[in-house]
Chains A and B, each alone.
Chain A
Amino acid sequence: MSVMNTDPIPASKPAETPLLEVSGLTVRFGSPDGEVHAVEDVSFTLGRGESIGIVGESGSGKTVTCTSLTWLLPSPPARYVNGRIRYDTRELRRDDEGTLRAVRGSRIAMVFQNARAALDPSYRIGQQLHEILAAHGQPRSAATRRIVVETLRSCNIADPDALLERYPHELSGGVAQRVTIAMALIVKPDVIIADEPTTALDLLSQLEVLRLLERIRVDIGCSIVLVSHDLAVVRRIADRVLIMYAGRIVERGSTEALFSDPRHPYTRALLASSQQRLQGGQLYELAGQPPDLAHLPAGCSFSPRCPNAFDRCHVEDPRPIGFGVDREARCFLLESDGD
């Protein structure tokens, strides 16, 4: 979905600094079975107005990754072993509560999978919306009420005034999700992180939410990080895609390139199974079990299930190998191809 820029390129235009830069994010959890390696050495960037998709099955580390972008996970039990995050040239430090609180919700906002669960059951919708404004310096007033109503309206809520008086349990899944999206964009953030925003919804609501997110990106120019296990969903919105498996990014690239020419066997498997689902064909079965994050295998973590695995894969863990235009994959197959 990248737009071809045909304007003449100015002589020395500096590369635009990315809005969000994540390097070396590593998160682990203690458990009775041993330490769970939820996220291992994840690095990526997000540009202004850009949207990326993070794709993986459950346990791939995608939720932990996106929740960690503002160091949100309670720690303990999470253990932040490593990682640096830069937002808009400033470093976001984990111990800097003041900056984090200023950034969260107003510059970097989140939308969660289960919308109703993300709303406090004891407060009305209106109260919860006003609360966000109040927490970021705009106490309740006639002006804020207008902002709240407008924001809801812009999220395709039919009767915002009535909705303000409702409690979360009175809302349908689709409406609740649109409310949480409204809560995310009410202070006009630069980044919206959406963790499986459509998974709990029916098909119609899914499409609505996706269209809404896309429109938001266009209207206010915010970046979007969309996390999902569903390739089709990601394809609609994302400019670039990151594929995660067992806590690592195993492949990345522009959406078009990735979908037309997947290189990592896991990406191919994901694509195959999603396409066959769409075409009603036989279910593509990926052999083996999802990895045990507390006891990862030696070598490439995907190797036990990989149809193309050879000896080296079971022994050595592949480093990311770049190829093509802004493409990268952790797979020894690329070396044999000699790109």
Chain B
Amino acid sequence: MIRFEDVSITYSDQPEPILRDINLLLEEGELVLVVGRTGSGKTTLLQAINGLVPHFTGGTLSGRVVVNGRDTRTHPPRELADLVGVVPQDPASAFVADTVEEELAFGMECLGLSGEVMRRRVEETLDLLGLNDLRYRPLMTLSAGQQQRVAIGAVLTSHPKVLVLDEPTSALDPGAAEEILSALQRLVHDLGMTVVMAEHRLERVVQYADRVIIVPGNAQPLLIGTPQEMMREAPIAPPVVELGRLAGWNPLPLSVRDARRVAGSLRELLVGQEPPIRVISHVDSGTPLVQAKDLTFRYGPHVALKSVSVQVHGGEVVALMGRNGAGKSTLLNAIVGLRTPTSGTIKTHGVDPISLKGVELLARVGLVPQSPGDLLEATTVAAECRAADRDARVVPGTTRELLSSLASEIRDETHPRDLSEGQRLLLALAIVLAARPPLLLLDEPTRGLDYPTKIRLVDVLRNLAPAGHAIILATHDVELAAEVATRVIVLAEGEVVADGKTAEVVVASPMFAPQVSKILAPYPWLTVSDVVNTVGPVILRSHAPTSGDAFA
């Protein structure tokens, strides 16, 4: 279906090729997962499939890419539109029409299909993706998960043989991600569609893949194989795989179901044991850093928060979870005084945050927004750091020092836009921390982050909490919450539906439980490192159902 022959791709402003000598054959009806660090060339590989590279992006492509007999050298993207459907990373930025139904029809109109065919396909696609209730809705009023489904539907109506998706679940809550993945499963199994998908959230997708392509970056050769083969050696893997590798399970489980089947003896080991307790250095039990009382936010007819009462003390790491649109961002914005509540009160550090401005605000609370790039205005990292020192009225050099401790490889003269997603996040974090706010808020920090950067972020957060900082994370990432949070608050429809210690809240929830706890239920262990700390690596290994595996 898709054939790469000796493909090398070089962008015009770079001396070295980003991908070199790629030979690849993807069969019909395959679900192929492409993994790799940010900037490794994943997106380039995906865009080469429909000719966006090099027709649209520029650069040189040597060798050839052939899709179903059509060579991308002679066929620009629009001539492949009936064959390859491409869903970009941020679906909202690619919408053309203004309502769902018109968006679904746009591609077909370009292909010149007849009215009856279009009508039929729109109806079929609305059903296939469960969008019928939304058909007349303006696209801008949809939630992120709905937008993602519309974007997929919009390319499906052209009946392509290949579907290419760039991080389809990274912005979604676990429930919406499940919906997308099951829709993709159906396309592969029922319609024999070839799906090529890049994704950082391996824990969500690796079990569905037929093959995995690892893009190592720096034009190194691609690694291709079945998920089992690839996960055995991948430097970073989802928790279920990590646990499987440590325990020496063979075959390596990729899904919670497979792991539970072989985890019986491990669960027996845990009987009577206590999971390690998260250290909460309850430094001050005096004035809470956040004190919300009956907080309500209303935008027109839509209620974003419904009489929420929450207190957060120093030393706590709170994970704020819930669906897209449940009110997480609204709560964070209220804490920094970006929004005036409709009713109720909010006190940040004992003060109404609306009245706080400038350094008064910075010294009390810092928020790293969903797209950290918003905070950056200067043209170099150094200028950005100097500006942050000035804003926070601290000794010049403070921000750069902080940044070096978080990410020493970021150079002064780099333009912030040229940083990777993760580096931008760390720069924004350094800027926010410059004024040493006791309260740190992060909105979706792991969105679009690759695993190595995520691990670094987890380290940073773990070190901040004992230093007396309170941290509130709004996140969809259940594994992140399991790693760092001491407390989880679940919001639904603007109301607090659960609030308690991480283990108590997430273990009980099918949606928010991390993989390890699903495997080990009913025992409340949340992460691989917790399990290792309890039983010890040697015992864990010796309880493998099969032995003789070379990986530890």
Is B one of A's binding partners? no
